């Protein structure tokens, strides 16, 4: 948190699984953290474009204010995502992974990413979104069949880059050798 101000990035690497990490507003050094088991049937598929995007540019694309109603809907989606993870209900992911605070603005700067998200849903992904600030696109599939279909469609989509199935890290950081 001290290095970049985003505890969610380091928490997932340290703890594995799905992690929720929130910096406490009154003390940047304090983080509220909760780790959840990864539903076994969920398969992440990523499309990694050849082009890069700078986090600074992706942040600059965001409006300085958002409507209260949009922020409230997004907070609800965050809770819905936690519920989807806790109940292993992939049917909740499409709604839970919808974003109206960041993604609409960032997608305008990322050629092909909006189409890749739509294609993921057409091929059976349970959820799809930009990964962080992009440009990587992430899909969560609930079967090997849909994961294969998304990976194959993305690789044939004509966007420069590569689709690949990934594994969730369920253990986090560990000491391999001293």
Which one, of 81, 133, 127, lies nearest residue 105 by Cα? 133
Query: Residue holding tokens 């890069």?
Result: 52
| Alpha carbon distance 21, 5 (integer Å) | 11
Q: Per the structure block, which two tokens stand in for 164?
A: 């690949």
| Alpha carbon distance 160, 48 (integer Å) | 9
Q: Per the structure block, which two tokens stand in for 98?
A: 């919808």
Distances (CA, A) of 115 to 20, 84, 125, 130, 154: 28, 25, 14, 11, 10
* Residues of the chain with confidence (pLDDT) below 70: 1-6, 27-28
Which one, of 176, 173, 154, lies nearest residue 165 by Cα? 154
Are 7 and 21 in contact, with CB atoms under 8 Å apart?
Answer: yes
Residue 166 CA, distance from chain mean position: 13
∠ CA 8-22-43, nearest 5°, is 40
Decide: residue 107, CB within 10 A, 0-12 exposed, 13-18 middle, 19+ buried: buried
pLDDT value for 175: 85
Q: Per the structure block, which two tokens stand in for 7?
A: 């505890």
Q: What is the set of domains in the chain, with CATH numbers?
A: 1-36 (no CATH), 40-64+100-165 (3.30.70.890)
pLDDT in tens, 62-74: 999 999 999 999 9
pLDDT value for 112: 92
């Amino acid at each position: 948190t001290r290095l970049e101000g985003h505890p969610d990035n380091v928490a997932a690497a340290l703890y594995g699984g799905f992690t929720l990490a929130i910096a406490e507003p009154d003390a940047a050094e304090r983080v509220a953290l909760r780790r959840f088991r990864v539903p076994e049937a969920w398969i992440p598929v990523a499309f990694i474009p050849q082009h890069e995007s700078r986090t600074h540019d992706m942040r600059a694309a965001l409006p300085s204010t958002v409507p209260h109603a949009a922020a409230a809907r997004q907070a609800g989606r965050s809770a819905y995502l936690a519920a989807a993870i806790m109940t292993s209900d992939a049917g909740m992911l499409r709604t839970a992974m919808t974003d109206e605070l960041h993604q609409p603005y960032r997608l305008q700067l990322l050629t092909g990413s909006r189409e890749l998200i739509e294609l993921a849903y057409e091929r059976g992904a349970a959820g799809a979104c930009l990964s962080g600030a992009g440009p990587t696109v992430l899909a969560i599939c609930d079967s090997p069949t849909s994961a294969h279909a998304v990976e194959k469609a993305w690789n044939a989509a004509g966007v420069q880059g590569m689709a690949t199935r990934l594994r969730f890290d369920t253990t986090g950081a560990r000491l391999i050798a001293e």
